[in-house]
Structure 1
Amino acid sequence: MFENMDIFSNIDKEIIKDMKSRGLIKIYEKDEIIFSEAEEKSNVYLVCSGKIILYRSSEEGDEKIIYILGSGDFLNEVCIDDKNTSANAKVMEDSKIICFSKRDIISWMRRDFNFNMIIMNSLSNKLRRSFRQIKNLGLKKTNYRIAARLWKLARDYGCSSDENIHIDINMTHSQLASMVGTSRESVSRFLKNIERKNIIKQKNQKIIICSLSKLEDYTKSLS
């Protein structure tokens, strides 16, 4: 299993053996909660298949989606600082996840610098994405934020077919709105607008990018 993940290609073989023997495989169904913010969780999770939403909740119960994570991504690696979880994790589609104890993760980080860098890179990537989101939420208009997020989703989860790019996520307008900090109605209006311009198509809760270059040009025109 781990041998098929590029991130582990340079890891000490003994650590790979340990991961196989110590990791606990769990199967989660859509909408199951893996953990909630402020919980004491001393486990680190590795996504093997499926999609996971990492999000924060407001006092009013509104959700702000921070990331969508997939195969090869870690969850709750921040627990190595001995503090409570800082976000919620919910299953977006049926997923297989491997659970490791924090103690094992720290031990492997000490034993193998390459493993240490995997965890550090995972944290760094999330931090950089958070910085981009803060910039967009504070400085960019709503339509730009939606278009930019579509471009990012197409790059991360796009599958090419007949010159189109299918975003391989069953995503509601409400979820997209939660990602960019706006209302579902604003997202629906924007998607209908760019659908009329033949930039995207919508089918069965999936968004198809008809032309990535058109979407990119349109995004630039909104900045």
Structure 2
Amino acid sequence: MNELKPTSTIQLNELLKHADYITPLRKGKYIFQEGMDAHEVYIIRKGRVQISKITNDGKELCLRICQRDDIFGELTLFTDNPKYLLNSKVIEDGEAAVIYKENLERLLFENSQFAFEFMKWMSDHFRKTQTKFRDLLLMGKKGALYSTLIRLSNSYGTKKPDGIHINIPLTNQELANFCGTTRESINRMLNELRRNNILSINQGKITIHNLQYLKEEIKCEECPAEYCSIE
């Protein structure tokens, strides 16, 4: 399971001290959608939020699942007339601390150590995003699914005697959105993996019985878990 969080590289307590208010997170609701005016950055205190992009052909491509202490909405910093570039949809009830964009920008200008740590986190964040797009573009549908399952195991996996339990329920459509493909394709590939006892699914939660198989199939480069994650 991936242990690297923004709290390990960003002075999160310093950021939270400057939060302007707390907002509730309600499952199924959008916090913002791409194209909306961007005035705020969010830090999750409880719950989960899915970050996605709508492609030119109208498909939803999921990029991240954010959880406690994760930051989102940060891509609008230091831009004129900023618009949100992505969608943020709540998938588990909770709450988030909110800091106005101009206040965060001021903090970054005034606190050089904090600005340095924030830039390090942003660099790591962009690197993770680049590896996800690489997998989607170069590995095909099957490779994209296998890569997504590996990332899920790093982010939400718990080792048990029968395999790695992914502690977050996902529908086949949600998996398809992470892979940039259709639900029907995901259904076929998951059924094949179940027949071969590579994984099993119980009430929407996946247990991976043979992670090594998935890694070998995509010629996994064994990237550090902090980059090979779904967060």
Counterpart-to-counterpart distance in 1, 2:98 and 2:104: 10
Q: Partner residue of 1:175? A: 174
Could you say if the C-alpha distance between residues 25 and 220 of structure 1 is closer, same or farther in structure 2, counting changes exceeding 3 Å? same
1:42 aligns with 2:44: no
Offset at residue 132 of structure 1 (A): 1.9
TM-score, scaled relative to structure 2 = 0.82
RMSD (Å) for aligned C-alpha atoms: 2.4
Higher helix share: 1
Read off the aligned partner of 1:51 and give its amino acid letter: R
**Residue ranges of structure 2 left out of the alignment (5+ in a row):** 221-231
Percent of aligned pairs sharing the same letter: 25
Report the counterpart of residue 69 of structure 1 in structure 2: 66
**Structure of greater relative contact order (alpha carbons < 8 Å, 6+ residues apart):** 2
Structure 1 distance, partners of 2:29, 2:140, is 33
Q: Secondary structure at the match of 1:179?
A: helix
State the alpha-carbon separation in 2 of the partners of residues 205 and 25 from structure 1. Answer: 31
Match of 2:226 in 1: none
> Residue 75 of structure 2 aligns with which residue?
78
Shift of 1:183: 0.7
Question: Structure 1: which 5+ runs fail to align?
Answer: none
1:106-144 per-residue CA deviation (whole Å, 9 max, x = no partner) reads 222223334223432343233223322332232212111
Is 1:151 aligned with 2:159? Answer: no
Deviation sequence 1:156-195 (CA, Å, 0-9, x none): 1112223421112121111111111111011111111111
Q: CA offset at residue 21 of structure 1?
A: 6.1
2:219 counterpart SS class: helix
Once the two structures are superposed, what CA deviation does each residue of 1:20-47 show, in whole Å capped at 9, x if it has no partner?
3644112211111000111112111011
- Residues 170 and 205 in structure 1, CA contact (< 8 A), matched pair in contact too: yes
Runs of 4+ in 1 over 6 A off after TM superposition: none
Corresponding residue for residue 115 of structure 1: 114
Check whether the contact 1:56–1:88 (CA below 8 A) recurs between aligned residues: yes
TM-score, length of structure 1 as denominator length:
0.85
* CA gap 1:10/1:89 in 2 versus in 1, 3 angstroms: closer
Which residue identity is paired with 2:195? R
Distance 2:67 2:117 in 1: 15
Question: How many residues matched?
Answer: 214
The 5 A counterparts of 1:121-200 are 121-200=120-199
Secondary structure of the corresponding residue to residue 218 of structure 2: helix
Q: Distance in 2 between matches of 1:10 and 1:119?
A: 6
The alpha carbon displacement at 1:49 in A equals 2.1
Query: What is the CA–CA distance in structure 2 between the aligned matches of 1:110 and 1:103, rounded to whole Å?
Result: 11
- What is the distance in 1 between the residues matched to 2:141 and 2:111? 44
